[in-house]
Amino acid sequence: MDRDGVMLPAKSGEFIAKHAKHVKINKDGNEKLCKEILSSIKYNQLQMPDTGSDSIHPSKDHPRAVDWVFVTDALNFCFWSKNKEKQWVVDGYTGYFALEAALNRAIKNSVDITNPEFYSKITKEQLLNIMKGDTDVIIPLFDQRISVLHEIGNILLEKYNGTFETCVKEANKSAIKLLEIVVDNFPCFRDEAMYNGRAVSFYKRAQILVADLWNFFNGTSWGQFEDVDKLTMFADYRVPQVLVYFGVMSYSDELMNKLKNDELLESGSDEEIEIRGCSIHAVELLKKRIEDEIKEKHLNVSVPSSSLIDYYLWCYRRKHAKEVESIPYHKTLGIFY
């Protein structure tokens, strides 16, 4: 499927994987990871590796829970630092969980961080306070985060009555419709690129936003989406690392050396696009293999969606950080992931 000539993520992944020169998808790795995932399905549910932190957010009954998920995923990008630099840490948490910890602390301190009336005009000083870390290291891409908050806040106020709930209602229980509403109306979610003469898309933050609503509300009320299985994995910098760890993907020697030397990949470069696109396609192939195995062995379990497989892999990296760290992850400066 294409939208205005831009291929949707699943098709983009297939196209990119077909032309990729720096990244390969491997059958053996696929088989190995398929076994690992099947062995983690219990009581008909994929059991997620324990990351040790699942409650650094407001409850789903919080009056602005939907807006909390929206603002969190608007800021859900680029938490890494270069090998020699110190990391941004909040209350002992790193990466994405540091963001959750900072936003949660703000809510507890009665800062109106879920309200676009507040964040559409947020000042540098206010955001610095909200994101204050355990050391003097500040959150990466600080200025871009201010711009993202101003942009999404103003659009919510102008078009959506000041709440993301309006967008969710408009989507009428369709994950793909909500994805389109977000991508069409909020430019900072338009995660697209040119590859081999074609416009491709990944929509990492927009897809994870929809999946997080689904997850947060257990597939009911604000999180009820009938087509949630149409989402792909969320092409970030962690899940590719796990895919390489399991041998599902491999990098050319040249690319691997760059990553080992901590060289940044240019946003929109072929290497970066191939890592992201091949990750999407690799997870689609993995899902297909899981489905085939389930059928072949007459297992009485349902096939996990790509977003559940994604979440499993993301949590796997968190739980097995030491082992997976032998594989370098790619570093690109940008607001998309």
CB of 318: closest distance to ligand 56B in angstroms?
Answer: 5
Q: Which of 68, 70, 88, 96 binds ligand 56B (CB under 6 A)?
A: 96
CA distance 110 to 147: 23
CB of 315: closest distance to ligand 56B in angstroms?
Answer: 8
Q: In the stretch 74-93, what mask flags binding to ligand 56B with x, by CB under 6 A?
A: --xx-x--------------
Check residue 250 and report its DSSP letter. Answer: E
Whether the Cβ atoms of residue 243 and residue 282 lie closer than 8 Å to each other:
yes
Q: Which of 25, 310, 312, 328 binds ligand 56B (CB under 6 A)?
A: 310
Dihedrals φ, ψ of 230, to 5°? -85, -10
CA distance 130 to 168: 27
Q: How far apart are the first and last CA of the chain?
A: 23
| Residue 195 vs 237, nearer CB to ligand 56B | 237
| Residue 264 vs 299, nearer CB to ligand 56B | 264
Closest residue to ligand 56B using C-beta atoms: 95
237 binds ligand 56B (CB under 6 A): yes
| Residue 95 vs 162, nearer CB to ligand 56B | 95
Q: Which of 88, 202, 203, 234 binds ligand 56B (CB under 6 A)?
A: 234
Candidates 123-131, 141-149, 230-238, 258-266; binding stretch for ligand 56B (CB under 6 A): 230-238
| Residue 22 vs 317, nearer CB to ligand 56B | 317
Q: Is 206 exposed, middle or buried (0-12, 13-18, 19+ CB in 10 A)?
A: buried
Whether the Cβ atoms of residue 67 and residue 165 lie closer than 8 Å to each other:
yes
**If residue 251 lies in a helix (H) or strand (E), which one and from where to where?**
strand 249-251
CB within 8 A of 263, min separation 6: which ones? none
Whether the Cβ atoms of residue 212 and residue 74 lie closer than 8 Å to each other:
no
CB within 8 A of 194, min separation 6: which ones? 200, 268
316 binds ligand 56B (CB under 6 A): no
336 binds ligand 56B (CB under 6 A): no
- Of residues 24-63, which lie at the interface with ligand 56B (CB under 6 A)? none
Where do contacts with ligand 56B occur on this chain (CB under 6 A)? 76-77, 79, 95-97, 208, 212, 215, 234, 236-239, 310-311, 314, 318, 337
